[in-house]
Amino acid sequence: MDSPFSEYLQARRAEVEAALTAALPTPPECPAVVADAMRYSVTAGGKRLRPILCLAAAEAVGGDRSLALPAACAIELIHTYSLIHDDLPAMDNDTMRRGRPTLHVVVGEAMAILAGDGLLTEAFALLTRAPETNDPAVVVRTLRVAGVVAAAAGATGMVGGQALDLAGSRMPSGVRSGAAPLDADGLRVMHSKKTGALIRAAAVAGAIIGGASDAAVERVDAAAGDFGLAFQIVDDILDVEGDSAGLGKTPGKDAAAGKPTYPALFGLDAARTMAAECLQRAERALGGAGLAESRLMDIGRWIVTRSN
């Protein structure tokens, strides 16, 4: 597949990966033991969906993509930290991620916890770096974006979603929440926080930095909300259908762990239909701001048709 969109993805991914590497702290200011741990996880690859979505949103609204690069990288650092902490023995106890041993397997639990803490904090160092211009509007936007990302990543967003996920299933540490397994509504709320909030923040951050009107930011937010839901539904489908090599992790793990999934609750066909409907709603939302013909929609289609 050598279509223009796959070239676009490749180019943005290369930009993001170069900027991520440059953004990580290094010795001597940063002790090597934690710098190496952070780098191990950040350079482990991955789709780079969130930062690319952020860049594409900035472009779609007519902004300068390069101004969104720090926020795009910050959001990927937050995503990476969340994977490190989710993989810990006390959480999901995952030993493989993106085809490599997870960080705690390589450096021990303590350093993995710290590397995650370091990445989360570094993300906010990036988000609050003073812009090169003194233009008050740009400074206000920078602060606004940092606030949007903080709200999405915190206990009312991503962290809260992981807490609901843990509470809805048996905790590996042997602590039982006593809560009933999640139903369809509970599953939607959990995922809207756990994965949806940061995906939305990525798109919203790009749109704000790109100078979008409040109305356009709202449209982008709504579309990204549907992208996030579609992303999760497809993740669940791939967990049923995928093979270990393509996924870089063990398929069937969620089902085996008794975690609720979209295919388990609705069946595979209905889950596929739901993902397609997400895409249609997103297209309508973006269309209302004249953004349906943009890389944003291409990213939505990629989310639904991806195989890993």
Residues interacting with a second copy, by CB under 8 A? 25, 29-31, 33-35, 38, 81, 85, 88, 90-91, 107-111, 113-118, 120-122, 124-125, 127-130, 136, 139-140, 142-144, 146-147, 150-151, 153-156, 159-160, 162-164, 166-167, 171-173, 175, 177
Task: Indicate the residue among 115 and 278 with the shorter CB distance to a second copy.
Answer: 115
Give least dist CB 38 to a second copy, A: 6
Q: Give backbone dihedrals phi and psi of 171, rounded to 5 degrees, phi first.
A: -75, 135
Phi/psi-derived region of residue 48, left when phi > 0, alpha when psi is between -120 and 50, beta in every other case: left
The Cα 206–Cα 26 span in angstroms is: 27
Longest CA–CA separation in the chain, Å? 54
Please give the Cα distance from 70 to 145 (Å, whole number).
11
Please say which residue, 125 or 256, places its beta carbon nearer to a second copy.
125
Nearest distance from residue 163's CB to a second copy, in Å?
4
Residue nearer to a second copy on the CB measure, 112 or 222: 112
| Closer Cβ to a second copy, 39 or 281, answer by number | 39
Smallest distance, Å, CB 117 to a second copy?
Answer: 5
Burial label, 269 (beta-carbon count in 10 A; 0-12, 13-18, 19+) = exposed
Q: Least distance (Å) from a second copy to the CB of residue 129?
A: 6
Rounded to the nearest whole angstrom, what is the least distance from the CB of residue 263 to a second copy in the complex? 25
> How many of the other CB atoms lie within 10 Å of CB of 26?
13
Rounded distance, CA 209 to CA 248, Å?
Answer: 33
Cβ proximity to a second copy: between 163 and 274 the closer is 163
Cα distances (angstroms) measured from residue 223 to each of 55, 200, 203, 207, 300: 15, 8, 9, 12, 9
Minimum separation from the CB atom of position 141 to a second copy (A):
10
Q: Which is nearer to a second copy, 67 or 234 (CB)?
A: 67
Is residue 49 helix, strand or coil?
A: helix
Q: How far is the CB of 127 from a second copy (least distance, A)?
A: 8
Nearer to a second copy, 56 or 146 (CB): 146
User: What is the C-alpha to C-alpha distance for residues 204 and 78, in angstroms, rounded to an integer?
Assistant: 16
Q: Provide, rounded to whole angstroms, the least separation between the CB of residue 143 and a second copy.
A: 5
111 vs 203, beta carbon nearer a second copy? 111
d(CA 53, CA 139): 22
Helices (H), ranges, the chain? 4-23, 32-42, 49-60, 69-87, 103-107, 109-127, 136-153, 158-168, 184-191, 197-209, 214-241, 244-247, 253-256, 262-266, 268-287, 295-305
Here the tokens at position 121 are 């904090």
